[in-house]
Amino acid sequence: DAGVTQSPTHLIKTRGQQVTLRCSPKSGHDTVSWYQQALGQGPQFIFQYYEEEERQRGNFPDRFSGHQFPNYSSELNVNALLLGDSALYLCASSFGQPSYEQYFGPGTRLTVT
């Protein structure tokens, strides 16, 4: 049973660039949530997708956007990258609504220089 997968594992970008991170949910799950984890902090909720729609959003600017595909996989896009966007980006999948029991992928480490 495949767990949550994310790609790429690591990424280095320059300020002002754009980045796309990808997530495939655990088999049987239909909801994807994205979190940002800065060094030494707990993960912070970015947004959640269900039925290809953004259902809830955390306190992140519009530079952060996402998409969910019919196969439930998801993308996180960040535009106009800032140094402060450097973090571990975690994807979590779950089943149905509400989706509290969330299972996390290994994350994508984004470094902005």
Q: Which residues bind other proteins (CB under 8 A)?
A: 4, 31, 33, 35, 40-45, 48, 50, 55-56, 58, 88, 90, 92, 94, 97-107
Least distance in Å: CB of 80 to other proteins? Answer: 25
> Which 3 state secondary structure label does DSSP give 101?
coil
Separation CA 16–CA 12 (nearest Å): 12
Does residue 8 have a cis peptide bond before it, meaning omega lies within 30 degrees of 0?
yes
> Which 3 state secondary structure label does DSSP give 84?
helix
Separation CA 54–CA 84 (nearest Å): 24
Residue whose CB is less far from other proteins, 19 or 43: 43
Least distance in Å: CB of 49 to other proteins? Answer: 10
Residue whose CB is less far from other proteins, 24 or 48: 48
Residue whose CB is less far from other proteins, 53 or 62: 53
